[in-house]
Amino acid sequence: MKMVCMSETFWPYGSGGELATYLWVRVLSPLLSITVVTARISEDTVNKLQSTGVDVVLLNELDVSSRSRLWSSLERAQKSIENLLQDHDVVWIPRLCYPVIQVAKQMAKPVIVHLHDYVSIDPSGAVVSPRYGYSMLSLLGFTKCFRRLLSVPTWRKVIAFLDSADATIFVSNRQRDIICARRPSLCRFHSVIPNPLPRVSTTSSTTELLNEVFDVINGHEYVLFGGGLSKLKGFDIVKKLAKLLSKRGIITVVSKAHRFTFNKDLGILYVPRLSYAEYIELLRHAKAFLYPSVYEEPLPYAVIEALLMGIPPVVTNIGGMPEILGERYLMYINDRQWNTLNNVIEKLMKRYDEIIEYVKNRAEILKDTWHDEKLRKVFISILKNVVEEQ
């Protein structure tokens, strides 16, 4: 079976959705003939994919500078897309190339849409949990919210194409429930499949930036937050946690900051965007991983990576978190009140060995239930069904 993967951006660029797409291609390539069509990909990734028999086509007509420009450029590139789809049995859209659905249906090609966010029901791509008392306006600010309103007409036009897809894949039950409640048409033919587990490197590395970070840390214990200054990712909660942690001599490292600086009063070390290898190296030595996201993230890879490395995540109890960590996990933040946050830190300090043991056991459960072979079988069965029904 020949499948074309339309993903405007490909790992290592992008974020969790692009990483998931890359891992899925690696998992599926032994049984499928896959062509990846993209506008942005690294030479190293191209070489890795080609070594496993995957074809890579650069479609330079795609404008990935913004979502609206991407959708406009896809419409202009219809002839090129038709030529690419011609020799394939099925079209897989794991990111935002939704206008391709219309082209594929005109050619009688079955389409699978793989949703890694909430763009299908909200132009921001995020759904904020009401539990933590934030509005989208307070999180994104007036300018971003205004721009989102301006994009609504184009967004509505494009997401209408999703109704023509032959199957929809969600990555968590919580994501499925949220989307199906608002857009039932996407749930006529759907499946919930967790993404493949990431391959976390066990090799230590060092760079000039890492040396600077460890010089400031100077042997102190530290926790890591990878969400920069994003309120959506929970930076407001991180600042409160950092204040509590600093009283215990623990530094909070915040990556994706604007510049390298150390706030001694809060105990926060801000570092610029790290390479993936640098990020994993910092995570490897952290006491805990902070991820108090206030939107319903479907299945955040950052939390999975920490779990697989035996680093306890401190997270909000929303989105796909319970599906990763289980209902009995001790490090859930249920609201942003000071006493709640203080109780979480107290548990981290006093029951650390117990939490570490739970994290290790949970990682083994995920390795078994989300094994590549099991996921591959489910995905292939979906492919066969949509092709046979065409």
- Average pLDDT over all residues of the chain: 91
The pLDDT, as a whole number, for residue 164 is 92
List, for residues 142-174, the tens digit of each pLDDT value: 566 666 666 778 888 888 999 999 999 999 999
Query: Are 33 and 3 in contact, with CB atoms under 8 Å apart?
Result: yes
The pLDDT, as a whole number, for residue 142 is 58
- Distance of alpha carbon 250 from alpha carbon 22, whole angstroms: 36
List, for residues 32-54, the tens digit of each pLDDT value: 999 999 999 999 999 999 999 99
pLDDT band at 309 (very low <50, low <70, confident <90, very high): very high
By DSSP bridging, strand 261-263 and strand 268-270 are antiparallel
- Distance of alpha carbon 242 from alpha carbon 344, whole angstroms: 12
Query: Are 269 and 216 in contact, with CB atoms under 8 Å apart?
Result: yes
The pLDDT, as a whole number, for residue 303 is 96
- Give the distance, in angstroms, between the CA of residue 115 and the centroid of all CA atoms in the same chain: 11
Query: Is residue 297 over pLDDT 70?
Result: yes
Domains of the chain and any CATH numbers: 2-196+371-389 (3.40.50.2000), 208-369 (3.40.50.2000)
pLDDT band at 135 (very low <50, low <70, confident <90, very high): low
Q: What is the 3-state secondary structure (H, E, C) of 232-247?
A: CCCHHHHHHHHHHHHC
Query: Are 222 and 286 in contact, with CB atoms under 8 Å apart?
Result: yes
The pLDDT, as a whole number, for residue 328 is 93
The pLDDT, as a whole number, for residue 138 is 63
Among residues of the chain, what percentage have pLDDT more than 70?
Answer: 95
Residue 332's beta-bridge partner residues?
A: 315
Query: Is residue 314 over pLDDT 90?
Result: yes
- Distance of alpha carbon 389 from alpha carbon 383, whole angstroms: 10
List, for residues 77-130, the tens digit of each pLDDT value: 889 999 999 999 999 999 999 999 999 999 999 999 999 999 999 888 888 888
List, for residues 195-232, the tens digit of each pLDDT value: 999 988 777 778 999 999 999 999 999 999 999 999 88
Query: Is residue 387 over pLDDT 70?
Result: yes
pLDDT band at 289 (very low <50, low <70, confident <90, very high): very high
